[in-house]
Amino acid sequence: MHITRSKSLFEKAKNFIPGGVNSPVRAFRAVGGDPIFIKKADGAFIYDEDDNEFIELINSWGPMILGHNHPMIKEAVIKAMENGTSFGAPTAREIEIAELITNMVPSVEKIRMVNSGTEATMSAIRVARGFTGKDKFIKMEGHYHGHGDSFLISAGSGAITMGAPDSPGVTKGTAKDTLLAPYNDLQAIENLVAANKNEIAAIILEPVPGNMGLVLPKERYLEGLRKICDREGIVLIFDEVMTGFRLAKGGAQELFGVTPDMTTLGKIIGGGLPVGAYGGKKEIMEHVSPAGPVYQAGTLSGNPIAMAAGLTMLQYLNSHPETYLELNQIGSKLITGISNSLSKLGLKYTINHIGSMYSLFFTDKEVFDFTSAKNSDTSLFGKYFQAMLKRGIYLAPSQFESLFLSIALTDDLIAKIIQANEESLKEIL
Ligand SMILES: *Cc1c(COP(=O)(O)O)cnc(C)c1O
């Protein structure tokens, strides 16, 4: 595999862009080697600047659930472009997409469009604070909610201690209002709630976290959080930027039957264009400006081109529920094949899998929270990543990411991935 052009582009990029990339994981730091610069994508394939072809399992970190460059979405974008690219004024299409989302995700009664998942979670926390009049919130270790200051907090020394900033530039003042709990541990939440009685505005979490690798909720965990929030008057926020419209048309909340007070959305919602959104119960969302006093605004929010792409995507998913069955089948076939090779070759592994998301961890211990995720052999993962890449399979360049499948994966392509997986495992053994 030649990557000469990608290599020289990366060298040049580093002169003008910090680390050569516009988002850190793209730099391949976690797996070694140089990043590949992409020229185009179509269906299940991406093509790099050296004209290598890859089957890829990232799908732009989720949005491309129908595969890349889908003709329907492309057409919607081109058609919308003919009427101008931005107005900064309300449009009919914004009502259409808002109404559709409230139908697909019933816990969302009112919704506000923004431009990224980061904006969605930052705004949701502000609204939860404005609504409850409380300052603190609980987040789970290893969950990612974008790069807003108050979310960049690492594990503190004990469950009840204040968080410490995870990045320079996040102040201690900001960090002190973020309380941390391990995922899948209801007792830790009870302890935090008891130690911060009547001070907690919200609990925010990825109901099915995908940003420490994929991890699944234990039985009755999400229900348990719902009960605590009801009892304590805490706003329960499901960050479904990743899981929304992916695990089901109504997201993880539909699949697990647990209803949050607020939901944040992103990724699939924009059909590949930059869109995020936050919504929830009417009584909470009525606090958002100009209906209420909590300020939040956006020059390009509800952008007509982005709304055209998002609306087309969501309309398709809403009217084709069989898409999710298809994705489940694709996921099962792939995971079965991959697991067979891993077992046959005697590797220590754990695969966490749900629908069209999965992660392979090189550990034989259960992975159920951030600490157990960190048990896995990341240097072996780096070798596995490179071995797969060499064979034309582009995985997420980090152990601590989920993979995302699309309906563009045919049986033939699944067989190719399974074969590349077996060869790669033999190479790294
Ligand atoms: C990707 C992601 C975000 C951040 O979204 P951006 O559009 O990258 O700002 C927030 N929460 C979750 C769960 C995500 O996966």
Give the domain CATH number at 125.
3.40.640.10
Closest ligand 1 atom, residue 119 Cα: 9
The DSSP symbol for 80 reads: H
Task: Examine the domain organization and report whether 196 and 231 are in the same domain.
Answer: yes
- On whether both 241 and 135 belong to a single domain, the answer is yes
- Per-residue model confidence (pLDDT) at position 155: 33
Distance 115 CA to ligand 1 centre (A): 11
Note the pLDDT of residue 1: 83
Indicate the pairing of strand 178-181 with strand 262-265: unpaired
Whether residue 151 is found in the same domain as residue 261 = yes
Task: Ligand 1, residue 143: give the atom nearest the CA.
Answer: 13
Which of 110, 136, 249, 267 is labelled catalytic?
Answer: 267
10-residue mean pLDDT profile of the chain (429 residues): values are 94 97 91 94 98 97 98 98 98 98 98 98 98 97 93 52 70 92 97 97 97 96 98 98 98 98 98 98 98 98 98 98 98 98 97 98 96 93 97 95 97 98 97
The kind and range of the H/E element at 98 are helix 92-104
Contacts of 216 (CB under 8 A, 6+ apart): 208, 352, 354, 368
- Among 294, 319, 344, where does a domain finish? 319
* 3 contacts 50 by C-beta, under 8 angstroms: yes
Q: Ligand 1 atom 5: the closest Cα is on which residue?
A: 117
Residues β-bridged to residue 140: 181
State the distance from the centre of ligand 1 to the C-alpha of 241, rounded, in angstroms. Answer: 6
Of the residues 290, 319, 348, the one at which a domain ends = 319
Q: Are residues 220 and 273 in the same domain?
A: yes
Whether 239 sits among the annotated catalytic residues: the reply is: yes
Domain co-membership, 52 together with 111: no
Pairing of strands 235-239, 262-265: parallel
Per residue in 13-47, pLDDT tens?
A: 999 999 999 998 999 988 988 999 999 999 999 99
Residue 414 CB partners (closer than 8 Å, separation 6+):
330, 333, 334, 337
- Mutate which of 267, 300, 402, 404 for ligand 1 pocket (most atoms within 8 A of beta carbon): 267
3-state secondary structure of 251: helix
For residues 343 and 395, membership in a common domain is answered with yes
Residue 267 annotated in active site: yes
CA-to-CA distance for 367 and 74, rounded, in angstroms? 39
Closest residue (by CA) to atom 11 of ligand 1? Answer: 145
- Chain centroid, CA 203 distance in Å: 18
Same domain, 276 and 341: no
Q: Spell out which residues line ligand 1, taking CB within 6 angstroms.
A: 116-118, 121, 144-146, 206, 211, 239, 241-242, 266, 276
Rounded to the nearest whole angstrom, what is the distance from the C-alpha of residue 212 to the centroid of ligand 1? 13
Which residues, in sequence order, are CB contacts of 290 under 8 Å at separation 6+? none
Tell the burial category of 399 from Cβ atoms under 10 Å away from its Cβ (0-12, 13-18, 19+).
buried
pLDDT (0 to 100) of residue 153? 83
Among 185, 239, 261, 369, the one annotated catalytic: 239
pLDDT score, position 372? 95
Q: How far is C-alpha 43 from the geometric centre of its chain's CA atoms?
A: 20
Please give the residue range of the domain that contains residue 34: 4-69+321-428
Which atom of ligand 1 approaches the CA of 146 most closely? Answer: 4
Specify the 3-state DSSP secondary structure of 10.
helix
Q: Is the pTM of this model over 0.75?
A: yes
- Same domain? For 195 and 90 the reply is yes
- Assess whether 373 and 238 both reside in one domain: no
CA pair distance 241, 26, nearest whole angstrom = 19
pLDDT at 165: 72
SS3 label, residue 357: strand
What amino acid is encoded at 109 in this protein? E
110 with 205, same domain? yes
166 in active site: no
257's tokens: 């039957």
Are residues 221 and 364 located together in one domain of the fold?
Answer: no
User: Ligand 1 pocket test: which of 113, 121, 122 has the largest number of ligand atoms within 8 Å of its C-beta?
Assistant: 121
Residue of the nearest CA to atom 10 in ligand 1?
145
For 184-219, write each residue's pLDDT tens digit.
999 999 999 999 999 999 999 999 999 999 999 999
265 CA to centre of ligand 1 in angstroms? 8
Do 142 and 102 share a domain, yes or no? Answer: yes
Which atom of ligand 1 lies nearest, measured to the CA of 121? Answer: 10
Count of domains in the chain? 2
Q: Which of 300, 319, 338 is the last residue of a domain?
A: 319
CATH code at 32? 3.90.1150.10
The Å distance, Cα 412 to ligand 1 centre, comes to: 32
d(CA 353, CA 332): 9
